[in-house]
Structure 1
């Protein structure tokens, strides 16, 4: 009888151990870098979008400065234009579009960097949901936009690089103006509007708008993770 009890006890302990190991395996984070899991970012459900708590709705509803003749003023003589239709909002600085030839492309905004909302490692960063919601408001699904290419058309992950024009206004500029993006990823030769955007950023910094309202959060290398702790 004692032998049977010992066998039953050993079996129960073994079952408990296997169960614990299985739970640990299920919570192991996936490996990846900033752009490695683009496909996963696109598959985020509507429910998970709602889970991104927007803490600063006033930024989304803030009046957007309309620059008179901005399109004609700063893109003079540019011939590298592509007409497109927005088919998905991925995050603050990335869209999925359909070009006039029917081809679908992931588009990464040139010279801007918004905080993350769907990154496999970084998670949701401060002002990330606000940036994503702002872009979705200005360039919603179905919106006709114009993509202006610089010298290099793609980055190493295959995404199209572009300045995004919506109704004659530069969305890259609007994000920086609202304090929802920093001027970043400055790589020669794609620097056509870098001085213009830095000028807009300086004003946002002085007014402590959005990302600039958190001391030492936005840097020239990105967004400090220590802020999230």
Structure 2
């Protein structure tokens, strides 16, 4: 498992999305949900999306509405998945912890978040959420195919080993993920 994560870190570091500001650390302001955090950059709050992954929603919003329609699951069920994912990310990183970011801090997605890879103590939070079974790989994301393939391998392992949501809410997670 450590070899997979080391390979992923190497691929991300060598990828064209890595910033020239390597080594710059930013304080975490908050965990918003299972795939979104806020950090402080030069006195400004930036919303970051953990690139290449998706976690269930933990509050009512347009994406939750789409997930409800797509899966047929109840709001309570989907929100329970989202709350578990958010709680797990909050265990991995605390307000005030410093993170490093690989990605373009000037880019943003349709939700106003900046899609990046986030590291705490040189460990990818993106990979950790997938490895631990609280997020899935976004196949439509624009991350490098090598990174997507490595994250997908971590996801398959988490699913087969019943980690995280795959163990506690397997059938619901399968419905939500579309896998």
Shorter-chain TM-score above 0.5:
yes
Q: Deviation of residue 199 (structure 1)? A: 0.8
User: How well do the aligned residues superpose, as a CA RMSD in angstroms?
Assistant: 2.9
1:77 and 1:207 map into 2 onto residues whose CA distance is 30
Runs (4+) of structure 1 exceeding 4 A deviation are 65-72, 121-124
Structure 1: 5+ residue runs without aligned partners? 1-64, 225-229
Q: Deviation of residue 138 (structure 1)? A: 1.5
Question: Aligned to 1:87, which of 7, 20, 29?
Answer: 29
The answer to whether structure 1 residue 116 and structure 2 residue 70 are counterparts is no
1:70, 1:168 within 8 Å by CA — same for their partners in 2? Answer: no
TM-score (norm 1): 0.58
Structure 2: 5+ residue runs without aligned partners? 66-74
Aligned counterpart, 2:118: 164
Q: Deviation of residue 168 (structure 1)? A: 0.7
How many positions carry a matched residue from both structures? Answer: 156
Aligned counterpart, 1:207: 161
- Aligned residue for 1:127, secondary structure, equals helix
Larger helix percent: 2
TM-score (norm 2): 0.73
Q: Deviation of residue 118 (structure 1)? A: 1.3
1:71 and 1:195 map into 2 onto residues whose CA distance is 9
The answer to whether structure 1 residue 98 and structure 2 residue 36 are counterparts is no
Larger radius of gyration: 1
1:112, 1:176 within 8 Å by CA — same for their partners in 2? Answer: yes
The answer to whether structure 1 residue 107 and structure 2 residue 61 are counterparts is no
